[in-house]
Structure 1
Amino acid sequence: MIRHGPHPSPAPLPDCTYETGIGQAHRYAKAIYEAEGSDEKPLPHLYVKTTKRIVTNESADIVQMLFAYGAKLGGNGLDLHPAALRPEVDALITSICIAINNGAYKAGFSSDQYVYAAPFET
């Protein structure tokens, strides 16, 4: 039995190869960005197969989109962003993005040791 996330599935999901997943034979994210005419190559990104466009490369936006549309796709009615917990979940997502994601991003472009150390100390 093949596992897809937390739920077992008897067979692979359709359209789950790298060729069909993005509608082109791109093997690396670099090729997707080049097809869009972009010199940037950040990850993660949310790519829409039908339009062949990157919708966003912002982690927090991707999480929010998955919250908004993921339950509809899964069909099990699981609410990953319940109204009662939204303020707490949103605050946590924001703090993670600022401290970890943005810290790692900034450190990758810096030659200053403080920029490397500051996110680690947070």
Structure 2
Amino acid sequence: MSADIPTPSAIRLHRKSRVLEVGWEDGTSFRLPCEYLRVFSPSAEVQGHGPGQAVLMIGKEKVNISAIEPVGHYAIKLVFDDKHDSGLFSWSYLHWLGSNYEENWNTYLGRLDEVGYKRKEVAPE
């Protein structure tokens, strides 16, 4: 792991709001929606097996995380309630997702718009 990437100091799932909160030892914190984590899963199912093979995930507005499993001292495995459970979220990838949330999310929304998919805004349960 790069010395530039801090280690998480706390990982908390807020089930009702469907948000994973990750606090880092450097004092930063990210609130990452479960939908965002699901559509940016590092799994081959989502990212493909090479450049340009990523699959656009749609209809994940209500997805939640049903389990968080530690993987060594470098990652977590997120088990989503839609049964997706492949892909390891390394500390560096999780930090990248948090640091680049706004840009990534806007790119995702643009891709949905390109294919004519209208997201359904979902209130916390």
Asked if Structure 1 and Structure 2 have the same fold, meaning a TM-score greater than 0.5 normalized by the shorter chain, the answer is: no
**Which protein has greater RCO, CA pairs closer than 8 Å, 6+ apart?**
2
Normalized per residue, which structure has more strand?
2
TM-score for the superposition, normalised by structure 1 = 0.29
Normalized per residue, which structure has more helix?
1
